[in-house]
Amino acid sequence: MKEKDLDLLTLKEVVDVFAEFDLRHTDFPHNYKDDKKIPKYNGLTILEKKLIYLDKDIPDIIDRRKAVIHEVLHSKYFLQGKKDTERQVEKETEEIYKKIYG
Ligand SMILES: [Zn+2]
């Protein structure tokens, strides 16, 4: 693993996010599902309220892990005063997941 690779998400950044954000595992009763019955949203972050919601019923552990990484990234950039995009966060989520779990 290259030194630069670790910069995507550090343990300090994860600690900083969970020290400031309220993480709630909750129902997503109105979650939109696509035609393959795959939910569109597994998580939602309300940055202004420092609130992270995760769908408590995501069946797949991989999807649950990716939802955590995804919402932590949004929160991290918010705390750092940086702008992010959905596309960038999705790409980084995949990279981080691959680095952690292979
Ligand atoms: Zn997002």
DSSP 5-67: GGGGS-HHHHHHHHHHSEEEEE--TT--B-TTS-BS-SEEEEGGGTEEEEETT---HHHHHHH
CATH code of domain 3-101: 3.30.2010
Centroid of ligand 1 to alpha carbon of 4 (angstroms): 23
Ion ligand 1 residues within 5 Å by Cβ: 86
Mean pLDDT computed over 31-51: 82
Residue 63 has pLDDT above 60, yes or no: yes
pTM, entire model: 0.86
In this structure, what DSSP letter does residue 89 have?
H
Domain boundaries, the chain: 3-101
Centroid of ligand 1 to alpha carbon of 67 (angstroms): 9
